[in-house]
Amino acid sequence: MRLAFALLLLLASTASPEIRYFRYERPVENVGQKSGQVCLRIDAGIFANASPGLADLRLYHDQTETPYVIRVTRAVEGSEKSVAVLNLGTRGGRTVFDTRMSGADFSDVQLDVEAKNFIATVAVSGSSALAGSAQTKLGSFTIFDLTRQRLGRSTVLHLPESEFAFLHFSITGPLVPADITGLSVERLPPNQPAYETVTESAQASQKGHSSIVEINVPAHTPVERVTFTPGPAPALFSRNVTIRVVPINIARGSASASDQFAPPVPAVISDNLLRVHSDQDGHRIDEERLAIDAPAVDFDTPTKWTITIDNGDDAPLSLSSVKLEMLERRLCFESVAHVAYTLNYGDSALASPRYDYATLFAPQATAVAATLGPEQANPAYQARPDDRPFTERHPALMWVALIAVIALLGGVALRSPRAPSNEGR
């Protein structure tokens, strides 16, 4: 395995792209009639026949290679900071406190609450001064800890985005000042990442108290999130989920002899699905967590994803779908008017290209949204000739020759006359 990988790197470091060595091609459609920036979505199907990391993707028009850049729509992480709790106490039977926001814009607020098994309402208002100025109501929010019901916990207040210098909190419910131990605010990113469906299934088998969904994914195909779509009932549930990913040849117990020295380690993660839509003690609770970040894996063979939902003693969840999703990836380039483009791939000897265009790329709001046509075999395909030295193309012969030399030297050593012993003289 290591030798094969080293030889592949050797090829990748010297091979140059030629259209005849690509196994597959896909036409670029809807480019438009004017020159300018064009972007197209890369679907999951490309990964099955392309090199790892899409290293062998090449874009051509009229036999000419066209520079491009691949953009992954990742969201900028939100920033979070702790804020001091001021004037914590009680007023009119309610727990109240203030915070100084220093005029920075903010959105979500996370309360640090030590108590368990509670439901409370938090009324929030904002003002420009700690006292003596008009307050603007920002809303009332339900926080809860339903540990006894196994329905999770939420103490996040989804406030409308604002820039007040001070926030004022009034909590109605069983919480006392000693239960409030801190507060943090988060500035959410301006946009969330977009996802593409890699594959999905609604077929779940039952084994004991568990619902099991099995999905196969082609080699090197990225999966970054698993999204569950349960049926309308039950309205309340909290289920632990385990996701296990293994290469299919290992899952079937058919690993080759070379792989048995260091079989791939299965990737396993655990998380929780939660849905709470109910009125409890006069409080309306609406909370859902139905997506799980997928384990980061990249195997050289297709993989088997086993998704196990622990139902406990409750009825199994009815699942409309379980989707394996990848972050949206877009390929962008500068087009020439009235020119046809083709995306080629399927030449494992190539390394990732390095274009100035990718370094200097600036996205344009007016970019044309093109599409990729169906995958088809390259009619001009030829197998790339093996230009490696004879010893690299036939490494087994080196071992045979080495063993033969060792055997010959051993035979010579055994037949050589021994020097007379000086013992007894």
Checking if the pLDDT of 382 tops 50, the result is yes
pLDDT exceeding 70 applies to what percent of the chain?
A: 81
- DSSP strands (E only) in 218-328: 225-230, 236-247, 267-280, 283-289, 291-293, 303-310, 319-327
Which residues neighbour 69 within 8 Å (Cβ) at sequence distance 6 or greater?
331, 332, 333, 355, 357, 358, 361
H helices within 332-394, ranges in order? Answer: 356-360, 390-393
Long-range (24+ apart) CB contacts under 8 A made by 83-88 are 83/183, 83/184, 83/185, 85/180, 85/182, 85/183, 86/130, 88/177, 88/180
Do 287 and 152 meet the contact criterion of CB atoms below 8 Å apart? yes
pLDDT at 21: 96
Tens-place pLDDT, residues 151-185: 888 899 988 877 788 899 999 999 999 999 999 88
User: In what helix (H) or strand (E) does residue 33 lie, and over which residues does it extend?
Assistant: none
Mean pLDDT, rounded, of the chain: 85
Which DSSP symbol is given to 202? -
Higher pLDDT, 82 or 387: 82
Query: CA-CA distance, 421 to 425, in Å (whole number)?
Result: 9
pLDDT at 299: 85
Nearest to 358 by CA among 386, 379, 330: 330
CATH superfamily of 79-187: Galactose-binding domain-like (2.60.120.260)
Domains in the chain: boundaries:
2-73+336-377, 79-187, 195-327
Nearest to 22 by CA among 386, 380, 387: 380
Q: One-letter amino acid identity for 138?
A: L
Tens-place pLDDT, residues 227-255: 999 998 888 899 999 999 999 875 555 44
Average of per-residue pLDDT across 280-289: 76
Higher pLDDT, 412 or 150: 150
Tens-place pLDDT, residues 339-366: 999 999 999 999 999 999 999 999 999 9
